[in-house]
Amino acid sequence: MANSSSSARKAAYLFLTLCCGALLALAGFRIYDVYGPSKIVVGGIPFGLPAGSTVIRGDTPDLSAEMAAVPVQVQTELRRAAELARSGSLSSAYDIYDGVIVLYPDLLPALLGQLNILFEMDSLTDAQQDRLFLLIEKLQVRFPGSGIAAYLESRKIYKSGNESAALELARVASERAPALYQTRQWYGKLLMDNGRFLQATNEFKTVVSLSSGDVPAAYESLADLYHRSGNLDSCAAIVEYALSQFPVNVKLLLLRGYLDEYQGHFDKAEKIYQRILAFMPDYAPAREAASTLGEKSPPGPGTGVVLSPQDRAQTALDILEPLVEKYPENLPLREALGRAYLKGRQFDRARTQFQEIQKVDPDYPDIQQRIQEASITRPAPINKNDGLTANLNRAVDSLRESMSPSKVHDFSTMLGHYVVRYGATPREFFKKYSISNFRPVANNVWQESFYIAPYKHTYTVVFDSLNHFREVHVVVYDSSSNSNHFGIAPEVYTRLLKQNSRISGIGNSTGETDCGDGLIIDAAVWETQDNFEMLARVVGKPAEVRMVRFDKTALPPGLKLCDYNKYLNQY
């Protein structure tokens, strides 16, 4: 009986201990909630953080309080400057901020607004450059060791080209001032450029919530991120919503045009590009998008080759053209060929097919509409200067091609795929390939160059010290390329990737890899037991593609992607 009573007391003590512990924990939580770090609770903003999520303020300054401390007229001017900056009128916004700062030299919203505009401007005058460094120094002295100071330093050294240090400082800034959406937006951009899409997504969603959905840059970045990663459904959802809030945002409109192109809706895409150019005639991405209409491939991180709508149309043409030639009286077959010509933007040929149908059967369903579609649609306009340069380059290429030594480069020998075993001697190699097409460029190194307009090909064949065939280096340059890197791979890289995939099979895509000092490589790799191939481009050099083919046994072990850069640029 005594043992039973003792056990009951122990159980009671344990229960009381647990209750007291729970009460102490609850009290501690309440104290921390009241007296701990202050937080911001965000609402349910579309494409932002879940409603009720909290963001710690850190050392984020209270910009709203500073805005409220100035007259209403000044607040109105600041809002007008912010709207002008969002619409791309950076110079006008800069002037408004400048006028406010004259009256209120220490007003933080105006100082940050003007600083951000200076960071975004493509080129600065000497006076603006001095102004930028003066404002940075002023705020870093005012907020030493703060998130703002780290943010400004990150943007400053990014301008000098030190991207890795800028990324680290941006991380520090977002940790110290997590509720300042400018730091989160900047950190997200650098993460995205570094290929860290998952982290960048969270930063952009946080910006959407912290700004209450009033900052279009957050939606632009989030949509661009989904676009780069190949998540086109999510990209389309964000673009559709954001354009309902910011209907003339050029970056969102440009993405809308890309999405229409991927689906083969070329007329819709062209109208969007022309709409952008109507109110921003000098916006280069829209002009380039219009000039490459139908040639773009959906981006994505996976392996393999993605065909553009124009390439898919060409595949259909390869099938339909011989069939129509064989069965010219088959009108549905001829209509299918006309539609394929339309998708490939060969409008004259499409119209010819539809007119042939009309001659045979004037009442053929919708034939008038088809003729009209082929008649009113026009090729995408190109910039006069760019077009003249491209035509001159193509003319020069044609002359070079006609003046080149006579040689045959069939499909199987393109991109340096010489059908000679590794270890072969020069005698064996030049028995199969005419030595007259090559010139010696170094000891045991031979090189040939030729043009297949508009591409210049340079292939370098390397023999080792024992005169054994060991490797091939390839450089292909597009002399008439107007393309640039805007979230998609340039045309020359995409075309050569498809070509090599038809020769060597589907390779493995590496995605974009930051090799430091501003060097970002995008590549595809093919590897077998005795052969290694890499086709690569450097982001920022859209007209040039390089490739290496190696005897795998000749490569040092443990090489990483960036280690191949010295081989890619060796010749």
For residue 545, is pLDDT > 90?
A: yes
Distance CA 351, CA 348 (A): 5
Closest CA relative to residue 81, chosen from 91, 70, 67, 66? 91
Structure tokens at 520: 């970002």
| pLDDT exceeds cutoff 70 at 185 | yes
What pLDDT score does 378 carry? 46
The verdict on residue 368 lying in a domain is yes
Contact indicator for 506, 420 with CB cutoff of 8 Å:
no
DSSP result, 475-497: EEEETT-----SSS--HHHHHHH
Domain count for the chain, please give it: 2
Residue 139's closest CA among 171, 108, 177, 172? 108
360 and 485 together in one domain: no
The per-residue pLDDT for range 516-533, each reduced to its tens digit, is: 887 888 888 888 878 899
Residues 471 and 365 in one domain: no
Assigned domain for 264 exists: no
Residue 357 lies in a domain: yes
Residue 101, exposed/middle/buried by CB under 10 A (0-12, 13-18, 19+)?
middle
Report the CATH number at residue 348.
1.25.40.10
Verify that 445 and 416 share a domain, yes or no: yes
Same domain, 351 and 412: no
**Do 344 and 406 belong together in one domain?**
no
**Structural domain contains residue 17:** no
**End residue of a domain, out of 328, 346, 376:** 376
Model confidence at 481, pLDDT cuts 50, 70, 90, reads: low
Distance CA 333, CA 339 (A): 10
**432 and 563 share one domain:** yes
Of all residues in the chain, the percent with pLDDT exceeding 70 is: 81
Q: Is residue 351 part of a domain?
A: yes
The residue among 497, 464, 125 whose CA lies nearest residue 297 is: 497
Amino acid type, 233: D
For residue 558, being part of any structural domain is answered with yes
- Is-contact 469 425, C-beta < 8 A? yes
In DSSP terms, 531 is beta-bridged to 551
Residues in Cβ contact with 298 at an 8 Å cutoff, skipping those fewer than 6 apart: 230, 232, 262, 306
Query: Worst-scoring range by mean pLDDT, 44-48, 109-113, 344-348?
Result: 344-348
Both tokens of 365, joined, read: 């369903």
Range 9-35 average pLDDT: 59
Cα–Cα distance measured from residue 376 to residue 370, given in angstroms and rounded to the nearest whole number:
10
Q: Which residues of 459-483 are buried (b: 16+ CB within 10 A; e: fewer)?
A: bbbbbeeeebbbbbbbbbbbbbbbb
Closest CA to 497 of 486, 485, 510, 487: 510
Last residue of a domain, one of 353, 376, 399: 376
DSSP state of 563: G
Confidence of residue 27 (pLDDT cuts 50, 70, 90): low
Which of 53, 59, 83 lies closest to 206 in space, CA to CA? 53
Q: Are residues 371 and 400 in the same domain?
A: no
Q: Are residues 315 and 438 in the same domain?
A: no
3-state secondary structure of 68: helix
- Confidence class of residue 270 from pLDDT cuts 50, 70 and 90? confident
Residue type, 553: T
Is residue 238 domain-resident?
no
- Asked if residue 441 and residue 328 are part of one domain, the reply reads no
Residues 343 and 456 in one domain: no
Look at residues 322, 344, 376 and tell me which one is the last residue of a structural domain.
Answer: 376
The verdict on residue 84 lying in a domain is no
- CA within 13 Å, CB half, 406: 0
Give the domain extent around 546.
Answer: 389-568
Residue with tokens 């954001």: 242
Mean pLDDT across 70-81: 84
Q: Whole-angstrom Cα distance, residue 127 to residue 309? A: 48
Same domain, 367 and 416: no
**Do 436 and 539 fall into the same domain?**
yes
